[in-house]
Amino acid sequence: MSVLLDIKDLNAYYGKSHVLHGVNLHVRRAEIVSLLGRNGVGRSTTIKASMGQVAATGSILFKGEQLLGLPAFRIAHKGLGYVPENRDIFPTLTVEQNLLLGEKGGKAARKSTRWQLDDMYGMFPRLHERRHTQAGVLSGGEQQMLTLCRTLMGDPDLIMIDEPTEGLAPLIVEMVAHYLKELKQRGVSILLVEQKLAIALEISQRVYVMGHGSIVFEGTPDDLRADAAIRKEWLEV
């Protein structure tokens, strides 16, 4: 499988604070990769830097093109999607209006897309039931579904998702995991930042573990299951 996202020697900063220290990772086509680690180690900063939201140096290649220095909207138009941890819905707009805002504009809108409203409603019937409801009154799980679907409406080749199961009931967590696997089957690559180790190991082909702004482990889920020392030092509370 060819590499879709290739991050090399990524350093990122918040003001004078040096947060990422030479991060290297990659995601192939139709692959789910999880980025694991404790809170505050730089996982979210890695995907924000990839989306042009944090000052960074190094190299971020997406489909062979350099992303560093580009504004977020141009990065999105190139096919990189981002589902933030805080979901960022438009609370006074309806579910359907939120979804339609995810569509690409301009020349990109004239290209064929693999995702339509009917696809979103087919995957998440609850969104269809509530399509005329203001998004601000949805439950946390429904808002997570809406944010994911709004990103898909932009027809990304790769989605970076930050803590999609945070604060959700176990049944909804399983539902989110199921649909992430379905996205992979439909050719969408995923870079997943996730706190729940069991979910990440269940759905990922490869995992990275981050500590103190650097990658400290790369391997398969089975590799991580077998490495008690890495889990104890960098993941377990």
Taking only the tens place, the pLDDT of each residue in 10-53 is: 999 998 899 999 999 999 999 999 999 999 999 999 999 999 99
**Which residue from 234, 193, 177 is spatially nearest to 33, judged by alpha carbons?**
193
**Distance between alpha carbon 146 and the CA centroid of its chain, in Å?**
14
**Which residue from 105, 114, 112, 46 is spatially nearest to 76, judged by alpha carbons?**
105
CA distance 3 to 100: 30
**Which residue from 131, 134, 133 is spatially nearest to 118, judged by alpha carbons?**
131
- Sheet of 17-28: strand order equals 17-28, 3-14, 55-62, 65-66
CATH code of the domain made up of 34-43+82-234: 3.40.50.300
Q: Residue 173 — pLDDT band, cuts 50, 70, 90? A: confident
pLDDT of residue 163: 92
CA distance 25 to 175: 27
Which two structure tokens, joined as six digits, stand for 107? 């020349």
Q: Report helix, strand or coil for 96.
A: helix
Model confidence at 137: pLDDT above 70: yes
Counts of helices then strands in the chain (DSSP H, E): 10, 10
Q: What angle do CA 17, 21, 61 make, to 5 degrees?
A: 115
* Residue bearing tokens 């808002």: 143
pLDDT of residue 199: 92
Q: Residue 110 — pLDDT band, cuts 50, 70, 90? A: very low
pLDDT of residue 88: 86
Contact 203, 32 (CB under 8 A): yes
Model confidence at 113: pLDDT above 80: no
pTM of the model: 0.92
pLDDT of residue 218: 98
Query: Which residues lie below 8 Å from residue 22, measured CB to CB, with a gap of 6+?
Result: 9, 10, 11, 58, 214
Residue-wise pLDDT tens digits, 213-232: 999 999 999 999 999 999 99
Q: Report helix, strand or coil for 78.
A: coil
